[in-house]
Amino acid sequence: MGKIEKGEKCSVEGCNNTAVRSLSKNTVAKAGLKLRDTRRAYLCQEHYKEFKKQTKADRKLESMRWSTFGGKSSSYVSKGAGYE
Ligand SMILES: [Zn+2]
């Protein structure tokens, strides 16, 4: 995984750059990149960067959601303690 045939083209719609990375279609689709109908997702340097940016943003969102949730539940707990 990760290695690609020489001369493989980027699988992103409208992109004709040479691919540098091969990833599973699902992984790339989750990052919001539109792919041509291929079995595997090949990404050029540019789109791989874009892909990494998107997945990083996702992770940040995920941790933000968690800290918000944690903050909410802890304030709820402290409020509850105040009523007692
Ligand atoms: Zn591309």
CA of 82 relative to ligand 1 center, distance in Å = 56
pTM, whole model, 2 decimals? Answer: 0.64
- For 28, the 3-state DSSP assignment is helix
Per-residue pLDDT of the chain (84 residues; tens, 9 = 90+): 567 778 899 999 999 999 999 999 999 999 999 999 888 999 999 999 999 998 887 676 667 766 665 555 544 455 555 555
CA of 62 relative to ligand 1 center, distance in Å = 26
Q: Is 4 exposed, middle or buried (0-12, 13-18, 19+ CB in 10 A)?
A: middle
Question: What kind and span of H or E run contains 58?
Answer: helix 45-83
CA of 30 relative to ligand 1 center, distance in Å = 16
